[in-house]
Amino acid sequence: MFVLVNLKAYPCDPVEVATAAHEVSESSDADVAIAPQAAAIETVAGTGVETWAQHVSPNEHGSHTGSTLAEAAAEAGATGTLLNHSENRLKLADIDGSLDAAERVDFDTVVCANNPDQVAAAAALGPDAVAVEPPELIGTGTPVSQADPDIVRDAVDAAAAVDESVDVYCGAGISTGDDVVAAEELGADGVLLASGVAKADDPQAALEDLVDPL
């Protein structure tokens, strides 16, 4: 199982979380990655943990003030990127452009979607993975696998109908090892979470709890 921890803009210590994630990844069967703020990518990558950008912009070098250039994220040490998170929605054309940008630097990619229909549309653009995240469950501690397991099953089927090579991750409300196991049993290849680790008093203990049942 792939575990991607999005640190968002939470006031956590990204190096502490990244160090914990690296140790847990090395000692378990889970592949744990961290997506910090852009300014922290280099520091986080320095811990040895797999490091992702939270976003890359659909542009190349040039007059693009405020953009997150894929090449800059890669130079800082990122190896993948989130796209279209519910807190940073993109137009379909911009998702496609950001995927092109990610491809220039050989990034792994996951495109977030609200429901199975959006999962199918995202899968058609050719990312490495899609993540189904009903926005009303994000940060609630109630996992989608518990609140509405059919969404996960339908998302897995929707992605497979378009492109069987696209992995499906389960997000929104993931916070325990039981949540991860439930996602896996519903057909997900990984999970996407944030506050369950980023806001934990002990990030390493939270991560160990996540992967222990695996």
| Positions marked active-site | 85, 133
Torsion over CA of 15, 21, 25 and 29, rounded to 10 degrees? -170
Query: Would the annotation count 114 as a binding residue?
Result: no
Query: Would the annotation count 6 as a binding residue?
Result: yes
Query: Would the annotation count 138 as a binding residue?
Result: yes
Cβ pair 188, 169 in contact under 8 A: yes
Query: Would the annotation count 7 as a binding residue?
Result: yes
Query: Would the annotation count 165 as a binding residue?
Result: no
Query: Would the annotation count 174 as a binding residue?
Result: no
* Residue 201 CB neighbour total at 10 angstroms: 6
Residues of 109-127 as b/e, b for ≥16 C-beta within 10 angstroms? bbbbbbbbebbbbbbebbb
Annotated binding site: 6-8, 138, 173, 194-195
Annotated binding site for substrate: 6-8, 138, 173, 194-195
